[in-house]
Structure formats: C-alpha cells, structure tokens
Amino acid sequence: MATILITGADVWDGLADRARPRQVLVVDGRIQRVADTIEAPAGAESIDLSGHTLTPGFIDCHTHIAVIPPVSAALAGDSSTAKALKALPVLRALLRNGFTTIRDLGCGDLDYPTIDLRDAVAAGLVEGPRILVAPHMISARGGHGDFSGFLAGQYQGPSRPLELAAADGCDEIRTRVRQEIRAGADWIKFAATGGFASPSDDPGRATYSQEEMDALVATAADLGVPATPHSYGDEGIQRAVRAGVRSIEHGNLASAETLRMMEDADVFLVPTQYAILSGARRTPEDPLWAAAPDYVRRKVDKYRAGLLDAADRLAASEVRIAFGTDAGMFPHHENWREFGMMVSTGITPLRALQAATSTAADLLQLPDVGVIAEGKLADLIAMPGDPFTDIEVTGRVDFVMKAGVVYERPGTAV
C-alpha cells in the first residue's frame, strides 16, 4: 500500500464543531498521524488539497443499489443478474459522491444480488463503497413490502413472486428472519407500517402486531444481527422500539412523545428527508408531482401537514440522527442532496455532517470508520469550500480515498 501525505486542507474529524488546518499521513490504508505539520516520509506521495475541507468518508445508512427508479411492478422484470449489473454504475457513482460505506436495505428481488455485490466489493472485484446488507424487507402480506399490490387481483395470492419476503405470524416470521441470516444478512429490515410508494397500505398504520415484532427482533438478536424497520407512524415506531430495534427508518410522522421514547431507548433515526419531503413540498402545479402515481399523491396529500410538522420536531429533538437517503427511490447520484434537505428543516450543518460520519458509524457498529483519528481506516474525502457555511459543497466532492486507495482527486472527475 502507498504512503500518502495530505496537506493544505482544513480537516474536520467527524466530531468537532469546526474544521481546522491539519495534515494527515496515511500508511498501508490507515491513518498513521494527524498533526499541524508532518514531515513527508521518504517515497511518500503528497496530495495538496488547499481550499478544501477534508472529512471522514460519508456513510449512507439507507440505500437500494439494485433498485432503479421509478419503482413499479416492472422491478420484477429484471433477473437477479440484470439487477446486479445495473448496480455497478450505481456503486461507482455513490463512491464518487464521497460515500465510502453504505447500508443497503432491500433489493426487490427473490434472490440475493446485494449479498453478492457486497462480497464482490470486499474482494476488490467491483469498485464501490463497502456495503452492509439487509437483503429483503420482511413484510406482512398487504404491507409495504408485498409488491403484489402493484398487480391486478387475479395475479395476487399466496406464493406469488412479488411477495418477496412476505411473512405473517410469529412462526413464519422467525423462519424468514433465519433464511435472511443464513443467506448472509448483516441486518434484518422489516415493514412496521405502510408506505408512500406502495399502492395498498397506509404510512400511518402499523402492519405487524407487537407480538410479531417482538418475535422478529428477538430471532435476529439471538443470531447476533440487528434489526431496523421501515416505519412512518407512531404506533409502528413505538412497537418497534419496544421490540428492541437499533434504528428506525424514515419516522417522518413521529410525534414528540415518540421521539422522546426513541431518545430514552437510544434508538437511532434515519429520516430520509429528501425522498419524502421533496414530494410534501411540491405544489399541485409541479410537473413532477403531476407525474406521480395517484396513490402516492393521495397519501402525501393526506399526510402533508404531518410530514412538515414532524420535520420541525425532529430538528428540535435530541434523537440520534444517522444519515440515510432511500436512494433508488430517486436517482442514486442525487443522494448527497439529503444534506441540504436536513439543513433546510432546521438540523444544523454540524449535526447533518455528524449524521453521515461518526453517528452513522456508531449506528452501523463500525468503529474503524466515521472519524479522522490515528489508527482508523483511511476513508477520507474532500470538497472545495466549507460545508459548515455552505452545505451544498457536499455535492462537489472531488477527492475520495477508501482504505488508503485514492479513487478521485481534484481535476480528474469525469
């Protein structure tokens, strides 16, 4: 591995309230030293990042790399191989955006292509972020993960391919959890409520009972795997927190009481605000809004005020926010826009940046990444300007290093 000395940048370590001029020495893929000045070792490559802010590599805790928007029943038309092949440029785009680690939360396929993609990246066969995977979203039939709702009634029913990871009742749920873990799951994801992008459920309604969620989370915990639910409304979130989940995905209708419950239980929230609030903020005259399916517009109209109010409550809360985008529900290369959306709702730039670095690493239990400190993996990115005063520079990352390997440097972006 190369020895690289990075100079000229203001360095933010993933924790402090500001960046300051520092130099960073990387040796054999790890950060060996961080100091005001470092003498370059013999044979070291020097990279001058003057005018840049150097940060830990970003972490996106909620992606769908094998889902290409727009999402519909057509998702079932591609083979597992086709989904994996289409994910290759997605992985490259996410890495070039500065995301050196991602968690993928469902592939929309009967097979396990995201497991194979994870392993291919780890083996160096494919270029992309390191990946943690929940292969499928376990769902009640008729819930958010039962894609057969996209089909006409005569094509729905037991064992239809679009049911994917459908499971009802504690016994079937336990079996499904064990199948996911047997296949190599790092996380278990389940649908605790309905959603906006599915036709036949309600985002505010819980779709699993307390007993079913308890069985699901306990089964995963017995095998050492954390669980996280897709959940918008209070009842689904509260049941999931009582069951012992590590994070909540979305949570965009959470009341102040529910947020306090999450704080007390130290449960993380991955709010994916860009994906949902972009729609909530659109007017009926917006051409993008007019092109949305009827059921999406109907649900967003029903919950619009609640979505906007909940975003204000989240900013005022002390819930541990981890960065996640739901990329795949919209074009993956736009995932950096989550930063701007978070700040627009009152979340401070510091909290948003920590959400994508040190807090995300805590959620994912990855102590080697998320901060710039001696001995940590050299996941380092840089952007021209200061994200603390202009959060939009997070969309102009032009230096990317993952585990000491440089994938992007100023002047070479394509």
Condensed to tens digits (0 to 9), the pLDDT of residues 378-391 reads: 999 999 999 999 99
Predicted confidence at residue 397, as pLDDT, reads 98
**pLDDT 10s digits, 148-193:** 555 444 434 454 445 567 899 999 999 999 999 999 999 999 999 9
Please give the structure tokens belonging to residue 171.
């016994």
Instruction: Note the pLDDT tens digit of each residue in 134-145.
Output: 999 999 987 776
Residue listed under structure tokens 């592939």? 107
Structural domains for the chain: 3-56+370-408 (2.30.40.10), 58-364 (3.20.20.140)
Write the DSSP symbol of residue 72: S
**Residues 6 or more apart whose Cβ sits within 8 Å of residue 288:** 282
Q: Where are the beta strands (DSSP E) in 120-175?
A: 130-134, 137-138
Contacts of 18 (CB under 8 A, 6+ apart): 12, 388
The pLDDT score that the predictor gives to residue 276 is 93
What are the helix (H) ranges across 75-166?
80-96, 113-122
Q: What is d(CA 248, CA 230) in angstroms, rounded to the nearest whole number?
A: 7
Write down the pLDDT at residue 153: 46
**DSSP notation for 45-70:** EEEE-TTEEEEEPEEEEEE-TT--SS
Encoded tokens for 342: 């978070």
In tens, the pLDDT along 69-91 reads 876 655 667 889 999 999 999 99
What local confidence, expressed as pLDDT, does residue 146 receive?
64
Three-class SS state of 32? strand
Question: Residue 204's pLDDT is what?
Answer: 93
Residues pairing with 188 in the sheet: 227
Average pLDDT, the chain: 92
The pLDDT of residue 199: 81
Tokens standing for residue 357: 């670095």
β-pair partners for 382: 54, 399
Q: Residues 265-301: pLDDT tens digits?
A: 999 999 999 999 988 888 777 777 777 788 888 888 8
pLDDT over 70, % of the chain? 93
In 122-135, which positions are buried (b, 16+ CB within 10 angstroms) versus exposed (e)? eeeebbbbbbbbbb
* Res 155: pLDDT: 39
Measured distance CA(59)–CA(48) in Å, rounded = 24
Q: What is the distance between the alpha carbons of residues 61 and 270, in angstroms, rounded to a whole number?
A: 7
Asked whether the predicted pLDDT for residue 56 surpasses 90, the reply is yes
| E strand or H helix at 139 | none
DSSP annotation of 304: H
Q: Strand pairing of 30-35 and 130-134?
A: unpaired
For residues 306-333, give the mean pLDDT: 96
- Locate the DSSP E strands across 180-318: 188-191, 227-231, 247-250, 268-270
Alpha helices, DSSP H, located in 190-233: 210-222
Q: What is the pTM of this model?
A: 0.94
Full strand arrangement of the beta sheet holding 45-48: 30-35, 23-27, 3-7, 45-48
CA distances from 161 to 157, 191, 342 (A): 10, 18, 37
Interval 215-248: pLDDT, tens: 999 999 999 999 999 999 999 999 999 999 999 9
